[in-house]
Amino acid sequence: MQKLVRLIITCLLIVIAIRCAPLRDSPYSSRLLRDERDLNNLNIAALSDIDADTKMNIAVFADSHQNYRDLRNTITHINRTPSIDFVANLGDFTNQGSNMEYDHFAKSYEEIRSPKFTVIGNHDALGAGLFLFDKMFGRYDYYFESSSHRFIFFNSNNWETPLKFQSLWLRDTVSASAKPVIIFSHISLVDPERFSNADGEIFKTVLSNPKVRLAVHGHNHTYRTYAVSSTWIVQAPRIEGFGWIMLEVQGNDLSVSLPKTGHREWYTLKTGF
């Protein structure tokens, strides 16, 4: 009898929760339940002079996908790390670009205490993802500047967003800079499957530009560093446990740290500009 009573009470609570919960027309529509809008511009407006002391600390994470617990652990670890100037999320924070995934991610993302910026990933652009990203984060391609650098966030998803993919915008935004440039994207600009045509030639020109000091991307889920036309490229690992990296730029010196393992590497950035 007690089991039956408990079962009835449980069913009633479920019905009440369902009736009280906010409703969507579809998980694949462009409707968001959370209120966050235009987050990248809001964080640009709140950004202080991040390299006033000649050193920058940039926290980077990528490819959180469905790993919401690991994302929360990563954010907790980032928040406990002192002297972070800003955080770069390199995309693929959803699997299918659904509104539920965007809402779920935003709940954790808004807990990051440092200024934070996001670039769209290929999974984030699926379904209604393009519309959702535009609502929640703003433009697909954008940049901001400190006193000594231009930071470019570029939509590299040529297959998923052919009408919003602007390789010439990246080239021109680099060329127009009066400062050294750091580029953030989801997919590597030298991905041989994606960019084997004219876009690949444009990106080779971009990376050979003496203004471009560093390019950072995700997508491939493992940590790696490599150089193209003397420009160092850092591939961020996916979030597992607290799989993020710290970039420290001081003058022409770059250090890359993996807090998960304690591993750290040092590089010399090109000085042609």
Q: Residue 66's pLDDT is what? A: 86
Query: Using the 8-state DSSP alphabet, how is residue 78 labeled?
Result: H
Q: Residue 241's pLDDT is what? A: 82
Q: Residue 10's pLDDT is what? A: 46
Reported confidence tier of residue 131, pLDDT bands at 50, 70, 90: very high
Mean pLDDT, residues 85-109: 97
| Three-state SS at 119 | coil
Q: How many CB atoms lie within 10 A of CB 225?
A: 12
**Domain boundary assignment for the chain:** 29-268
Reported confidence tier of residue 272, pLDDT bands at 50, 70, 90: low
Please determine, for residue 226, whether its predicted confidence score (pLDDT) is greater than 80.
Answer: yes
Residue pointed to by tokens 């940049």:
143
Q: For residue range 235-266, what is the model confidence (pLDDT) as tens digits? A: 999 998 878 999 999 999 999 999 989 999 99
Q: Residue 98's pLDDT is what? A: 96
Q: Residue 9's pLDDT is what? A: 47
Residue pointed to by tokens 């996001």:
118
Reported confidence tier of residue 24, pLDDT bands at 50, 70, 90: low
Reported confidence tier of residue 154, pLDDT bands at 50, 70, 90: very high
Average predicted confidence (pLDDT) for the chain: 90
The length of the chain is 273
| Whole-prediction pTM | 0.91
Closest CA to 86 of 122, 42, 125: 42
* E strand segments, the chain: 55-61, 86-89, 116-118, 142-145, 150-154, 181-185, 212-217, 224-228, 231-235, 245-250, 253-258, 263-268
Question: Is 29-268 CATH 3.60.21.10?
Answer: yes
Mean pLDDT, residues 46-69: 86
Q: Residue 17's pLDDT is what? A: 38
Query: Using the 8-state DSSP alphabet, how is residue 77 labeled?
Result: H
Mean pLDDT, residues 47-64: 84
Contact in structure between 90 and 239 (CB atoms under 8 Å) = no
Please determine, for residue 11, whether its predicted confidence score (pLDDT) is greater than 80.
Answer: no
What does the CA dihedral 140, 145, 148, 151 come to, rounded to 10 degrees? -10
Alpha helices in 35-166 (DSSP H): 39-45, 68-79, 99-109, 129-136
